[in-house]
Amino acid sequence: MFFCAISGEPPQEPVVSTKSGNVYERRLIVKYINENGTDPITGDKLEESDLLDVKASPKTAAPRPPSHTSIPVLLQTLQNEWDALVLETFALKQQYNSTRQELSYALYNNDAAARVVARLVRERDAAREALSNVQATLGVAPSASATEDVEMATDAPAEEGLPQEVISRIDETHQTLSAARKKRKPPTGYATAAQIKTYSAKHTVPSLHSASPAGITSLVVSRSNPDHFLTGGNDKVLQLYDRSTDKVLASLKGHQKKINHVAFREKEGEPTLLLSGGADKIAKIWAHDEASEEYIPKSTIRTHKGEISGLAVHPTSTLLALSSIDKTYSLHDLSTFQQVYRSVTSDEPFHLSLHPSPMVLFSHWERPRRRYKYTTFELAPLPHPSAPPDATPFSIHTLSFSENGYHLLAPSSQSTVAVWDLRKQKAATTIDLGDDFKVNKVIYDVSAQFLGIAGNLGGRVYMNKSWEELVRFEEGGEMNDFVFGEMGKELWGVTGREVRIWSLPA
């Protein structure tokens, strides 16, 4: 018994191809040859003359010509429809197989291209690092072409002092802020110590950033819109979130490693800037575009050769300060995105903060801390409190100034926090948090009445000057960052992938 190579059924009028040897139903193969001119199985050229009838037994007599209303006509019509369906199905199978092959080739080519690009990026980075090492050995200043992208060059002379225009801008801001701070009292309606003692969990924003690698590293709340906050994560992503609608407003990618610090630059009359510094040695700047209502990349700063360890916006709202573990500091103009100062130190800084007077920049590393003035950058060591000279050094990665600039809050060990009186250049007090506590973040509120501490056992709030503990937040586990909300009426903390908000109970 024969079976048609197209329909898979016994043929009524079998024919065989002299070229491929396949058996077909005559009406099907003739129709296929008329449409395509090839053998449906092998794809070779095929003509009707290449078909040989197969003499099957028993022979069947041809039916009589039926009328249009007879059952045989209907059967013939159904047979024609079936033949057309079989041919179409066969053609679709062939097209499907061809498309699968093309997709496989495309995926292979894309994977090969991605591997080549990754290899070239690794080779470029290795070459840059090798060139930097050679230049450092020979004492040659690094060139922009070897360290920076051409479209985002940040060349500026190092160790030459700030431009006069920048110094004038800083002095003007200093005079304005100093005058406003004289005999300043907390604003009307600001949170009181009694209220903070009653704060409880109010809102939780869960599952921010990717679960692998998990964790939020930095948090900052907008001053112009207290419902907006910015987070940086271990997943290399910067996220702008609206607490009032529980929606992510922007998810910005560009870092190749975890983000260490984030910040807002909010200045009246100018676009809001989102700033971030990461372990990939770069700082990135995004600006709000009024036309598209989205944040677009404006600049990438590649000045430093090491991980960005500190990032702060100057009170003028026109300068960005950066520090890096490559023992360098830099200042950048946020209007032109150009570097205006770069300094090389003999120590490795772990963080950087700006004094409220806008004349002093504090950076710190392993004991002792050092203070730099913007105008002369004179070293002024701040001695470590109540620690013997041979004490084991530790990395100080967080500090905060009181709003009036009189006090400095920073860890004195992994489980203690000291408050320095900057007018007397000595520690006013040391807060012992317990041997099991590890400090992650310290912060003053804007009224200088309260200070917050975040660590592996949660967060705590203390009263300034009396040092009374007001409240503890331990339900979320380890807290990586801590922020006072508007008017002190909310406290924001980062625990893992969550942002928690505490305030007066409902």
Burial of 424 (0-12, 13-18, 19+ CB in 10 A): exposed
- The answer as to whether 78 is a domain residue is no
Q: What's the domain range around 411?
A: 192-218+402-506
Whether residue 149 is predicted with pLDDT greater than 60 in this model: the reply is: no
Give the tens place of pLDDT for each residue, 339-354: 888 888 766 666 777 7
Percent of the chain residues topping a pLDDT of 70: 82
Rounded to the nearest integer, the mean pLDDT of the chain is 81
DSSP 391: P
Give the tens place of pLDDT for each residue, 433-442: 988 999 989 9
Backbone angles phi, psi at 347, to 5 degrees: -120, 160
- The answer as to whether 285 is a domain residue is no
Query: Residue 104: CB partners within 8 Å, gap ≥ 6?
Result: none
Give the tens place of pLDDT for each residue, 317-372: 889 989 888 888 888 999 888 888 888 876 666 677 777 666 666 665 544 444 54
- The answer as to whether 98 is a domain residue is no
- The answer as to whether 482 is a domain residue is yes
Is 493:499 a contact under the CB 8 Å cutoff?
yes
Q: Is the dihedral of CA 427, 413, 281, 139 positive or negative?
A: positive
- The answer as to whether 420 is a domain residue is yes
The total number of structural domains in the chain stands at: 2
- The answer as to whether 117 is a domain residue is no
Give the tens place of pLDDT for each residue, 157-166: 445 567 888 8
Which helix (DSSP H) or strand (DSSP E) does residue 31 occupy?
helix 26-36
pLDDT at site 393: 57
pLDDT at site 209: 85
CATH assignment of the domain containing 19: 3.30.40.10
CATH assignment of the domain containing 423: 2.130.10.10
- The answer as to whether 47 is a domain residue is yes
Mean pLDDT of 233-249: 90
- The answer as to whether 148 is a domain residue is no
pLDDT at site 151: 41
Pick from 17, 39, 62: which residue ends a domain? 62
